[in-house]
A and B are shown apart, each in its own frame.
Chain A
Amino acid sequence: MKLIYSLYKEYKVLIRDRAGLAITFIMPTALILIMTLIQDSTFKSVNESAVPLLFVDRDHDSLSQTLEKYINHSKFFTITKKQLSNNEVKKQVAQGNFLIGIIIPENTSKRLKERSTERITNLLNSFSGDSIETLSTDTSKIQLNIFFDPVTKQSFKTTISGAIDRIISQIEMQGMINALNAKMKETFPDSKPSALESTPLVNISEEYASYNNSVIIPNAVQHNVPAWTLFAMFFICIPLAGNIIKERQDGSAFRLLTMPGSYFIVMLGKLLTYTLVSLIQFLLMLCVGVFILPLLGMPQLNIGDNLPLLFLIALSAGLAATGFGLLVGTIATSHDQASLFGAVFVIILAAIGGVWVPTFVMPDFMKTISVFSPLNWGLESFYAVFIRNSSLKEIWPEILKLWVFFIATLSSAFLYQKYKRLN
């Protein structure tokens, strides 16, 4: 009965604290909406979405047409065709209007054909013992100009360059095969050779290493919903610590300590109430991801099919956050101190835990540090369920860490309070 009334009291205090409610529910909702919308393009750039590409075709021949066809076919790019000078292309890319600018100079196709024929002729002549000599005076390399936005990451640039290089290599190869065919036709005019099969001989099998063969590509929604939910859960330390400090300052804690066994019950009441609030936050944020974000043009949050495991992760994170709040409320001597310390500490934990910037884009050093943040343990667990469809067997170490954090902070809070009372 004591516990029920303690829960009821906490519920009443919480429900009538408008500022606390705003921090608890409105802030994370706003953060999820804003951050998801802001980060959507960034996530798209590392995902499957099209990269804006400026294509300047001065060749108007087979190479530029084939290259354009290949680029279109790859679906990595959105092509805009314009006739601009080199400097204008550079300027357009520098201004961020395009991530990539490609210029195909005049006569590129013609030169490629000539150079291919020349190479084939030289090769065939070397078989017949004729001297190797170049037929053309044009020995310079055929030059294509590609401009990259300076903000483009090296890894992305290398990927794009590699893709374009592969396309050009295919065109080059096709040109040489055509030249070889033509030469062979000259040597064997009556033959009817079959076309050279151009399908790749080596096939690379690519698959996402997910359980149950489920393929879910991480996107801004799947990062931001769990990330900011965890942030909000840990931000609960501010109203919770404020609640504890207020009770201490107005003498309520003193009165409760004079009652037989009541202070423990009151603390348990706070623990259960705020853990329940964390779970409500989690449910609310899931609803934002599933129902609200799609209305804003964002992808819908795919919550997987293991709801009990999601609940366990949320409960573990909620307990860890509440334990942390109890510790902050016990150590801090004033509301201002608790607000400042709590907010700064949670922001640091969030930053190193991958809430602001996902850990997979962090440098190695920061990735090593991130494993010390309880927000990272929660986030990695959510990722595992949302993206890899993992089961408890795969994520139990992260869950265990959250429980250890909860027990450690709770014990520290009680021990510190006892120490302060005795001294």
Chain B
Amino acid sequence: MSVLVDIQHVSKKYKDAPKAAINDLSLTIQKGEIFGLLGPNGAGKTTFISMLCGLFPPGSGEILINGRTHKTHSKECKQVIGVVPQEIALYPQLTAWENLMFLGHMYGLSGSTLKEKIQKNLKILGLEANIHQKLISYSGGMKRRLNLIAGLLHDPQLLILDEPTVGVDIQSKQAIIEHLKKLNKENGMTILYTSHHLDEAEDFCSYIAIIDQGQLITQGQPKELIIQNNCNSVEEVYLKMTGVKFRD
């Protein structure tokens, strides 16, 4: 495997914040990996993802995507990435079809290619019957599945998922995870996944990094981490590393 994302000594401190959100973080994401980024609230996951997506530059250090930085190759870097935010980042007044057509065009797709991609994804995730239904009438699980499709339309090399299964029923959760596994296996899609569902992360991810207070605490394959720390699950490793104190 080759490196898709290379994070080198990245730090970021927000103005007026007492301490850095990300503090000298270094890690790599290999192509074809399902990379789980875990950490308690306020650990710096959102800041990390925002910098990776090019929303703002790091205070120091470098983020390389396919060997390029956002600073010099913003368009190329952004084209590599697909994002599925934690929120349902879609327009409730529009139908599923209208939402996906709009977002597909924003990714630079058009014509029959876009239409085929939309139809294919809607079918896989069981939404083809609701294609012309406004999102306002969708259930939580249906919205989550559509939210995922919106991030997949341009076949990104790196799919960033911020808690993709939060608040969904078991059936939708199963469909989402299975589809992602299939994309990873068949298309070689690299996935960066964040979640507080640690059992799901243990099952789903091929590699895990735990960060806290902007710093990397530990990283490795889930089984390796469990053995190294004499634990029975990733959840135990997580609690051992980050403690049981509330992080409000």
Contact = CB atoms under 8 A, between A and B. Distances in A.
Contacts of A6: 102, 105-106
Nearest to A265: B106
B107 to A, nearest CB: 6
Nearest to B111: A1
Interface residues on B, range: 35 or more
B83 A254 contact: yes
Interface SS of chain A: helix
B54 A261 contact: no
B79 to A, nearest CB: 6
B155 interface: no
B14 A261 contact: no
B83 A255 contact: yes
A262 B107 CA distance: 8
A262 B57 CA distance: 18
B106 A5 contact: yes
Contacts of A265: 106
Given A9-B94, A260-B74, A255 B105 contact: no
B102 A9 contact: yes
A260 B75 contact: yes
Contact of A9 (B14, B15, B91): B91
A220 interface: no
A312 interface: no
Contact of B106 (A17, A266, A422): A266
A392 interface: no
Nearest to A16: B93
A259 B74 CA distance: 10
Given A5-B102, A255-B83, A17 B55 contact: no
A333 to B, nearest CB: 16
Interface SS of chain B: loop
A261 B54 CA distance: 12
Given A1-B110, A5-B106, A12-B93, A260 B85 contact: no
Interface string A1-15: 110011011001100
B86 interface: yes
A257 B107 CA distance: 11
B102 A423 contact: no
Interface in A247-298: 249-252, 254-262, 265-266
A385 to B, nearest CB: 38
Contacts of A423: 14-15
B98 interface: yes
B56 A259 contact: no
Given A421-B55, A423-B14, A260 B89 contact: no
Interface residues of A, number: 28
A261 B74 CA distance: 9
Interface in A94-128: none
A254 B91 contact: no
Nearest to B57: A422
Contacts of A258: 53-55, 78, 81, 83
Interface string B16-58: 0000000000000000000000000000000000100111110
B89 A255 contact: yes
A331 to B, nearest CB: 17
A311 B94 CA distance: 32
Interface string B92-106: 011000100111011
B176 interface: no
B94 A250 contact: no
A245 to B, nearest CB: 13
B91 A13 contact: yes
A13 B93 contact: yes
**Which of B50, B79, B83 has the most chain A CB within a 10 Å cutoff?**
B83
Interface string B59-83: 0000000000000001100110101
Given A254-B55, A260-B74, A17 B79 contact: no
A146 B164 CA distance: 83
B198 interface: no
B78 to A, nearest CB: 4
Which 6 residue pairs across A and B have the least CB separation, nearest first? Answer: A251-B89, A251-B87, A251-B85, A5-B105, A423-B15, A16-B93
9 contacts: A5-B106, A9-B98, A254-B50, A255-B89, A258-B78, A258-B81, A259-B107, A260-B75, A423-B14
